[in-house]
Structure 1
Amino acid sequence: MSNFTFTLLRFLALLLLFNSLHQFSAFQSETPTKRHDHFHIVEFNSLVTASTCNPSTRDASEEELLELVHNYGPCSKSKHHSKAKSPSIGEILERGQTRFNYKQLSANGENNQIGVKWDSSNTFEYVVSVGLGTPENNLTLVMDTGSSLLWTQCQPCTLGNIHGCFNQKDPIFDPSKSSTYTNITCSSPTCSLANATLGITGCSSSTCAYETGYQDGSIVAGFLAKERLSVGSGTFSDIIFGCSEVNVNLTLAGVDGILGLGQDFVSFVEQTSKTYEKVFSYCLPSKASEVGFLKFGKTNQVSKSLMFTQLGADYAIPLAGIKLGNTTLPINLTKDPVVIDSGTVISWLPSNDYITLRDAYRKAMSHYQLSEPFSILDTCYNVGGQSNLVVPKMSFLFEDGLVLDLPPIGVAFPINSTVVCLPFASNEAADGNLVLFGNTQQKTLEIEYDVAGGKIGFGYGVPASLPSLVSTVSCLCLPVSLTQTRCLPRSRLDGLVSCLPLSLGASLSLLAHPSLTRGSPRLKVCLSLSSLTVLGFSGT
């Protein structure tokens, strides 16, 4: 790197540091007894959904990524925004509780509902676009790791009829107009296997039929069929899917159906195993105004840095405990079933464990004013007027020693412009021991499900675009040469310049530009949600 470039980097770093001294002084005066290496310093606006979409700048063709967007955010193309009011945060949380209750019953073996393993609590948050049939029909489907069947509505059915179809974004699929559609007969091995694994019973005109009822009284019924399906750049023939013609008291909030990514044989993951080897990954955006991704198959680049642990049936994971700040809490989850789920908003803990976490969290957040509970969240704080928030770091601890640092939004969930809450809830069921790893704690993490290998990998997602840097990495070192990158945790950098929050701007793009950082002397950068900290230079 030229002397001019190096001098420019030094100048920009020092300039940004001096401009941030007053913010650091304010932080020290507000929390004089807290070690800031155990806390996130987060720009509050970085947690709040914007009114316009911040599209991804990723080159999707390189990794064959599908855009993954929040169904209720400005990046969603669903037309339901103009027809119906999006649910409030309170409604979404309450629906999430219904979904969790369903899963607790299933974990206890008490769910006697016949049919597809899926609940209809309308917590349908993250959607992707696929193509079905010939000619191709575009569909917007919910990504759901908690169910297996891919299904959508089919003609004939009547909109507005209580036993017909519900409003959806795209035209309802018409099998009679597709040259590649075929029914599955009752006598076929596929129908027999579906009956054994999904509880599908009954036939109609020798066609394999399915029907399922849910806790809220809604019913979905239709036929199993095979059809051509396009997902990203991949096209697959004879994909088994559910062609739903009867929907009673059911709505999917404007989307067209479900893309089930569970472990039953009808799952898209299982049906495409020869191509994708039963591997898929996703990264949920930090907020509804940003774009994440869904990918099938092993990730070429990022997977090398993933941290893996065991993955069991129903996507069970060996979560053992929780660390808050620098304290490992007296929580033992090894005796409880722990499931990771893309469709449940917050995380759930058994009652006693939740109380332990809540009490420690309240102590760590004592520099803010405790406010009234919100919906099912009982620990909330008034942070009005604060441009930056100071929130404790939280980590999930796994039985094999893996330590997963959660993103700031997984610790402080914004309810409105003045209130944040602890996004965990207590499992109050009498025999409630289910632990659930919800999607708020998954945001900005790259998560790879290797179903065939029986393992799941976690990594810290690469930002989709500047200046929206999203990471929970404590500290990051930019490349020191063309082939080498140095990275140190914050705990090993105490002798260097203190971590100071900086505003993002044009200078950030310059500092982070590959042409300037390649070959630079160990420039150490601390990343958090929409904040950058320059720790200093060492070496030449």
Structure 2
Amino acid sequence: MAWGACIAALLLLLLLAAAGGGNGGVHCLEEGSMSRSRRALQGRHYLRSRAVGGATVLELRHHSFSSAPSKSKEEEADALLSSDAARVASLQWRIENYRVIGSSDAAAAAVAASKAQVPVTSGAKLRTLNYVATVGLGGGEATVIVDTASELTWVQCKPCESCHDQQEPLFDPTSSPSYAAVPCNSSSCDALQVATGMSGPAACGSADQPACSYTLSYRDGSYSRGVLARDKLSLAGQAVDGFVFGCGTSNQGAPFGGTSGLMGLGRSQLSLVSQTMDQFGGVFSYCLPLKESDSSGSLVLGDDLSVYRNSTPIVYASMVSDPLQGPFYFLNLTGITVGSQEVDSSGFSAGKVIIDSGTVITSLVPSIYNAVKAEFLSQFAEYPQAPAFSILDTCFNMTGLREVQVPSLKLVFDGGVEVEVDSSGVLYFVSSDSSQVCLAMAALKSEYETSIIGNYQQKNMRVIFDTSGSQVGFAQETCGYI
């Protein structure tokens, strides 16, 4: 089916909907489109940025670095979903760890803090479907993974004892006149210890080099170690003097791919959001591009709404106020609608969720997921089912189909705020021949875990994080570099 015919079918569907007929969307299966392999980053990968009015705009792109480009689509999907499951498990561990560390039980807090030097994870764990932006640092440039669940920005630095391969030259502290190591007796070093659970000598260097050390340990065995430092950060030409970041001299893990490191956009004192409060007021937003396209999205720093290209009004949901939330962005999920049917689940009574840029697939507590699954199976009954794949257990065989009518999917937050998921974020195509197409959601292991809204369900959407106003905004937007 040609794309023109697909568009015609979509227009017909919209006309029927306007006349009162049905819900959902048409998903067109272009011949050969699902067989495109992910492109690896090759050569130096520069992303654009610019200042627009009162905002700073950075171009976002998918980071698809893979050490094994010859893998089949199914093998790549399995690796991606396995990594995603590991990230979700790590986030659950971190949430619980923050609760224990912040509790009044000092003994329990000490045990939790001793489990790892730094209980942190990031979107850098994922081999694919990361989003990257380029920033200036100390006169050079660094392409970093954008992650809303990390506290600290870090890059690989010379002299590197052990480093993963990256596309750009390593950051060289000796070439930057504005570089300075952060000493142990500084408020930034204290903030690092509080945020990560480190304490005492572990956060400091040797007696002859008393710089504040950091260790980020990821649950897949990847890590970044080095010293806390300050240097000039450049965002679309706007300088942030004395920006605190991790200068990593020992970094390992294939999941980091060809990037220079990680941009921490979480809620903590050392995150980029907190450190640029004077410039951008604690507000940032992103629009994540579709994986299948070559288009780029945008990361906007600042509260100038005029630069957005949203096609629907922005709706805001209040963040959950939780002193033990760590760097995460929590909202209350009060409902989900599939097609025109509201899903009924007792899990919505305690439906706190994380909005995360680094997790791919949305993971829900079992009571909510099972209710969504049952309703989706009911509305998708005309399509034959296929075996489960990895963490995805609601799959269908769509071999030979030219188009599929996909039920709409809406997330409902506190105050009746409805957010419709783009049709491209409802189904995950495992196989190139469409013989295994799955609902792009997964179940958590326990009702006591915390649901996570992943980036697959945030595509083609402007998501606004207003830390000053303690709210998250949503609007539909066809993502492009603005």
Per the normalisation by structure 1, the TM-score is: 0.72
- Name the CA shift for 1:175/1:167 in 2 (closer, same or farther; >3 Å): same
Q: Which residue of 2 aligns with 1:300?
A: 305
What's the CA shift for 1:85?
5.7
Q: Which residue of 2 aligns with 1:233?
A: 237
Letter in 1 for 2:318: Q
Is contact 2:127–2:255 with CA below 8 Å preserved after alignment?
no
1:132 paired residue among 106, 118, 137: 137
Q: Distance in 1 between matches of 2:278 and 2:10?
A: 57
Q: Which residue of 1 aligns with 2:457?
A: 441
What's the CA shift for 1:367?
1.6
Q: Distance in 2 between matches of 1:141 and 1:448?
A: 20
What's the CA shift for 1:43?
2.0
- Name the CA shift for 1:52/1:83 in 2 (closer, same or farther; >3 Å): closer
Asked if residue 422 in structure 1 is aligned to residue 432 in structure 2, the reply is: no
Is contact 1:69–1:288 with CA below 8 Å preserved after alignment?
no
Q: Which residue of 2 aligns with 1:517?
A: none
Q: Which residue of 1 aligns with 2:60?
A: 68
What's the CA shift for 1:433?
3.0
Q: Distance in 2 between matches of 1:229 and 1:49?
A: 40
1:339-374, Cα deviation, whole Å (9 max, x unpaired): 111101111111122111111111111121111211
Q: Which residue of 1 aligns with 2:42?
A: none
Q: Which residue of 2 aligns with 1:92?
A: 80
Q: Which residue of 1 aligns with 2:107?
A: none
1:440-495, Cα deviation, whole Å (9 max, x unpaired): 11010100000111011000014539xxxxxxxxxxxxxxxxxxxxxxxxxxxxxx
Paired residues for 1:221-300 under 5 Å: 221-248=225-252, 251-289=255-293, 290-300=295-305
2:29 paired residue among 22, 35, 44: 44
What's the CA shift for 1:404?
1.0
Letter in 2 for 1:43: C
Asked if residue 346 in structure 1 is aligned to residue 350 in structure 2, the reply is: no
1:504-538, Cα deviation, whole Å (9 max, x unpaired): xxxxxxxxxxxxxxxxxxxxxxxxxxxxxxxxxxx
2:165 paired residue among 145, 164, 167: 167
Q: Which residue of 2 aligns with 1:480?
A: none
Which stretch of the first structure deviates more once superposed, 263-272 or 209-218? 209-218
Is contact 1:184–1:226 with CA below 8 Å preserved after alignment?
yes
Q: Which runs of 5+ in 1 are unaligned?
A: 1-15, 29-34, 73-79, 159-163, 466-540
Describe the SS at the equivalent of 2:350.
Answer: coil
Paired residues for 1:161-200 under 5 Å: 164-200=162-198
Asked if residue 457 in structure 1 is aligned to residue 455 in structure 2, the reply is: no
1:384 paired residue among 384, 396, 399: 399
Is contact 2:127–2:254 with CA below 8 Å preserved after alignment?
no
2:116 paired residue among 110, 113, 116: 113
1:401 paired residue among 379, 404, 416: 416
| Runs of 4+ with >6 A deviation | none
What's the CA shift for 1:106?
2.2
- Name the CA shift for 1:84/1:365 in 2 (closer, same or farther; >3 Å): closer
What's the CA shift for 1:84?
5.8
What's the CA shift for 1:64?
3.7
Letter in 2 for 1:453: G
Q: Distance in 2 between matches of 1:218 and 1:460?
A: 35
Letter in 2 for 1:106: R
Q: Distance in 1 between matches of 2:360 and 2:8?
A: 35
Q: Which residue of 2 aligns with 1:153?
A: 156
Asked if residue 206 in structure 1 is aligned to residue 194 in structure 2, the reply is: no
Describe the SS at the equivalent of 1:67.
Answer: strand
Is contact 1:70–1:127 with CA below 8 Å preserved after alignment?
yes
Is contact 1:115–1:212 with CA below 8 Å preserved after alignment?
yes
Describe the SS at the equivalent of 2:358.
Answer: coil
- Name the CA shift for 1:309/1:59 in 2 (closer, same or farther; >3 Å): same
Q: Which residue of 2 aligns with 1:144?
A: 147
Q: Which residue of 2 aligns with 1:104?
A: 92
Which stretch of the first structure deviates more once superposed, 374-383 or 110-119? 110-119
How many aligned positions are there? 423
Letter in 2 for 1:392: P
Is contact 1:184–1:207 with CA below 8 Å preserved after alignment?
yes
What's the CA shift for 1:216?
2.8
Asked if residue 365 in structure 1 is aligned to residue 350 in structure 2, the reply is: no
Paired residues for 1:1-12 under 5 Å: none
Q: Distance in 1 between matches of 2:168 and 2:49?
A: 26
1:413-455, Cα deviation, whole Å (9 max, x unpaired): 22233132101111114x5431111111101010000011101
Describe the SS at the equivalent of 1:317.
Answer: strand
Letter in 2 for 1:425: A
Is contact 2:49–2:235 with CA below 8 Å preserved after alignment?
no
Q: Which residue of 2 aligns with 1:217?
A: 221
Q: Distance in 2 between matches of 1:292 and 1:310?
A: 25
1:309 paired residue among 302, 314, 317: 317
Q: Distance in 2 between matches of 1:146 and 1:451?
A: 14
Q: Distance in 1 between matches of 2:456 and 2:9?
A: 32
- Name the CA shift for 1:130/1:374 in 2 (closer, same or farther; >3 Å): same
1:177-227, Cα deviation, whole Å (9 max, x unpaired): 111101111122222232222334332211111123333334321100001
- Name the CA shift for 1:326/1:169 in 2 (closer, same or farther; >3 Å): same
Describe the SS at the equivalent of 1:400.
Answer: helix
Two-structure CA RMSD over aligned residues (Å): 3.0
Is contact 1:49–1:288 with CA below 8 Å preserved after alignment?
no
What's the CA shift for 1:117?
2.6
What's the CA shift for 1:271?
0.3
Q: Distance in 1 between matches of 2:332 and 2:214?
A: 34
Describe the SS at the equivalent of 1:452.
Answer: coil
Identity across the alignment (%): 28
What's the CA shift for 1:382?
1.7
Q: Which runs of 5+ in 2 are unaligned?
A: 40-47, 101-111
- Name the CA shift for 1:263/1:141 in 2 (closer, same or farther; >3 Å): same
Is contact 1:185–1:191 with CA below 8 Å preserved after alignment?
yes
- Name the CA shift for 1:275/1:45 in 2 (closer, same or farther; >3 Å): farther
